[in-house]
Amino acid sequence: MRIANQSSFSVAVVVALLLAGCAGGPVKRPDVPMPQGWQEVASAAASPVSAQWWRGFGSPRLDEWVENQLAAGPDLTIAAERVRQAQMALRSANSSLFPSLSVSASSSRSRSDAQGSAPTDRESTSAGFSVGYEVDLWGRIAAGSRSAGAGYQASRFDYETLRISTTSTLASTYFQMLATGERLALARENLAIAERVLGIVEARFRNGVATPLEVSQQTTTVLAQRTALVPLETQQRQLAAALALLLGEVPQGFDAGAETFAQLRVPAVAPGLPSDLLERRPDLAAAEADLVAAAANVHSARTSLLPSISLSGSGGLSSAELVSLTNPATSLSAALSMGLTLFDGGRRSAQIETARSQQRVAVESYAAAVRTALKEVDDALGNADVGVRQEASQQQTVAQAQRSLQLAELRYREGADDLLGVLDSQRVLFQAQDSLIQLRLSRLNAALNLYRALGGGWENTAL
């Protein structure tokens, strides 16, 4: 009676553990409410994001560089190797689903020479094989394979995210270099204007009309303009060197081409619907793959409470001759083994709780990534809209400042006003022109940010 009770208790324990171990449950995905539309409105002439979005800026040089970077960029090459490492990890995990087979062979000869007896020679030759297979009754190995597969997919999505990031960084650096070149050209033009006005002031001084103070004031303006050229020239060289590094080239002697800032276009981008964003951004796809991996890790950890079952078999031939299997003796064996850890001080329970915690982190990270993506798109749309209006207003400011300087120079030349009006008009014009270039650069960067926030035309081919 006691034996029957013990057997029933053992069966009940195994069944309970089986139910506990196999109840992995579906993958938990957070319910993030998606808005019906964007707060900011895109341009009516906007176009959907293309997979080759960089061509919308009208820069043949940038098109060439992006193609070179995507083909052999140093950062992307490193990321591609990480994808290969994840692929090998997946292959290693999948190999556990199959039996292992090994073969062995040996041949030996020994001689013993004991005192008082004749020498004895021994020869032997053997060959054998062995087969081992762990029965994945509870799905632990399959869960490990799912986790490795999700990790591989996540590494692929991370690679695509890096492609978009490095491409936009390359474009942004190039735009900044061209804008710096435009600001440098403008500063040189402003220096020429200041020098021309200085010539007028000196001529008036020689004729006794201007004062030494006016000559000193305009000379100060000329010197300030010359000083302003130095940091712009340095910044342009540093940006060219940064471009070389992004392209995997040596900065010294790098040729950045002869394109101008004025030839760049600012494309209008259509954002689509917010719900489409989940399928258009590789970083969100990577976060979802992390959810799958976390769920598989929880299931794998819970199956550690269940017994492991393994099958093994071996066979062999042996002979008492050297390098020969004449008249061999044969052997065959098969075994079924089961192991169950009864006490481990709470180690497996801690592993299960760790896996569950990691799953909760993956869930919250996914929800946070979705919310961040929605904000990034709205921010980029708002910056693009503000940039259009600011640039249009600044163009009018520059036009008025140019007219003011022309009138101030004319009145000063005719003696109707003093030099202060010319100096003030110069300062306003220089600042207005420089601000216009930087606003144009901000519009280009806003378009870049919108392309990046929308996933750069990426499509999930892993589905």
Could you report the per-residue pLDDT of 229-267, keeping only the tens digit for each?
Answer: 999 999 999 999 999 988 888 888 888 878 899 999 999
Q: Please name the residue that has the structure tokens 């598989």.
A: 296
Phi, psi of 272 (to 5 degrees): 75, -160
CATH 3.40.1160.10 describes domain 29-97+140-305+348-453: no
Instruction: Express each pLDDT in 51-67 by its tens digit.
Output: 899 999 999 999 999 99
CA-based radius of gyration for the chain: 38
So what's the pLDDT on residue 70?
87
Q: What is the largest CA-CA distance in the chain?
A: 136
Nearest to 187 by CA among 442, 434, 438, 439: 434
Encoded tokens for 338: 């089961």
Tell which wins on pLDDT, 228 or 322: 228
- Say which range, 3-12, 130-139, 279-288, 429-438, has the weakest mean pLDDT: 3-12
Is residue 12 predicted with pLDDT exceeding 50? no
Instruction: Express each pLDDT in 330-379 by its tens digit.
Output: 888 888 888 888 888 888 899 899 999 998 999 999 999 999 999 999 99
- Paired with 318 in beta bridges are 126, 329
Give residue 339's identity as a one-letter amino acid code. Answer: G
* CA atoms within 13 Å, Cβ hemisphere of 30: 22
CA dihedral for 252, 256, 260, 261, sign (positive or negative): negative
> What residues does each domain of the chain span?
29-97+140-305+348-453
So what's the pLDDT on residue 6?
39
Is residue 5 predicted with pLDDT exceeding 60? no
Of the pLDDT bands very low, low, confident and very high (cuts 50, 70, 90), residue 282 is very high
So what's the pLDDT on residue 2?
36
Of the pLDDT bands very low, low, confident and very high (cuts 50, 70, 90), residue 26 is low
Three-state SS annotation for the chain = CHHHHHHHHHHHHHHHHHHHHHCCCCCCCCCCCCCCCCCCCCCCCCECCCCCHHHHHCCHHHHHHHHHHHHHCHHHHHHHHHHHHHHHHHHHHHHCCCCEEEEEEEEEEEEECCCCCCCEEEEEEEEEEEEEEEECCCCHHHHHHHHHHHHHHHHHHHHHHHHHHHHHHHHHHHHHHHHHHHHHHHHHHHHHHHHHHHHHHHHHHHCCCCCHHHHHHHHHHHHHHHHHHHHHHHHHHHHHHHHHHHCCCCCCCCCCCCCCHHHCCCCCECCCCHHHHHHCCHHHHHHHHHHHHHHHHHHHHHHHHCCEEEEEEEEEEEECCCCCCCCCEEEEEEEEEEECCCCCCCHHHHHHHHHHHHHHHHHHHHHHHHHHHHHHHHHHHHHHHHHHHHHHHHHHHHHHHHHHHHHHHHHHHCCCCCHHHHHHHHHHHHHHHHHHHHHHHHHHHHHHHHHHHCCCCCCCCCC
Computed over every residue of the chain, the mean pLDDT equals: 85
Of the pLDDT bands very low, low, confident and very high (cuts 50, 70, 90), residue 18 is very low
Of the pLDDT bands very low, low, confident and very high (cuts 50, 70, 90), residue 13 is very low
Read off the pLDDT of each residue in 71-87 and give the average, rounded to a whole number.
86
| Burial group, residue 61, by CB count within 10 angstroms (0-12, 13-18, 19+) | middle
Read off the pLDDT of each residue in 147-159 and give the average, rounded to a whole number.
91
